Chain A
Amino acid sequence: QVQLQESGPGLVKPSQTLSLTCTVSGGSISSGDYYWSWIRQPPGKGLEWIGYVYYSGSTHYNPSLKSRLMILVDTSKNQFSLRLSSVTAADTAVYYCARLRSDLWSGVYFDNWGQGTLVTVSS
């Protein structure tokens, strides 16, 4: 059973860079059927897709975050990471890593999620 676990600082100062890592266990991040994704949820609000990375390193980002965003993959560690620069209070959220399954016949959907980690942007 594949499990995903987020890790990283829970508090980031305004204007700094938010960095999180997702460790994948129980399966290989190099599986070709999946994209490795980040999603966030501000307190009391809905879900916002941030972006995803393929094991090859190719990425697709939410246009609203693209200028500040980088998602990287490290296949040797079975991990992928999120870097969001120039953060403000509006970036305070629970950040989830998730596995995005991509299948020609059954579609594209998030079939496995981490438990989420709260990141607060505050001085």
Chain B
Amino acid sequence: EIVLTQSPGTLSLSPGERATLSCRASQSVSSTYLAWYQQKPGQAPRLLIYDASSRATGIPDRFSGSGSGTDFTLTISRLEPEDFAVYYCQQYGSSTGCSFGQGTKLEIK
């Protein structure tokens, strides 16, 4: 089983600031199989990034993903009020299936 560990658990920032969220895997993950999601209270998660760095349809370009191997990053260049939410990374392995990180809560400072 591949365990994804996200840090920090909570990130307190102000609108306009830059957010950097980390996702570390317990063993190497193909970047093709790493995705990021945003979840707001009472809503289903929404796909932001797939293939580690490709934005999903309709996702603003202030969201970007990077990384390889065991270390991946989601960056939000300039925070908008609607970006405050919980963010999850997710990986897929052909033998192990899917798993999610525990989430990073991005809150308004």
Contact = CB atoms under 8 A, between A and B. Distances in A.
B35 A109 contact: yes
> Chain B contact residues (Cβ within 8 angstroms of A): what range?
20 to 34
Contacts of B39: 47
Nearest to B98: A49
B51 A107 contact: yes
Contact of B92 (A98, A108, A114): A108
A96 B44 contact: yes
Given A96-B44, A109-B90, A46 B35 contact: no
B35 A107 contact: yes
A115 B54 CA distance: 24
* A-B residue pairs, 7 tightest by C-beta: A108-B92, A109-B35, A113-B44, A49-B98, A109-B50, A107-B32, A47-B100
Interface of A: 37, 46-49, 51-52, 60-63, 96, 98, 100, 105-111, 113-116
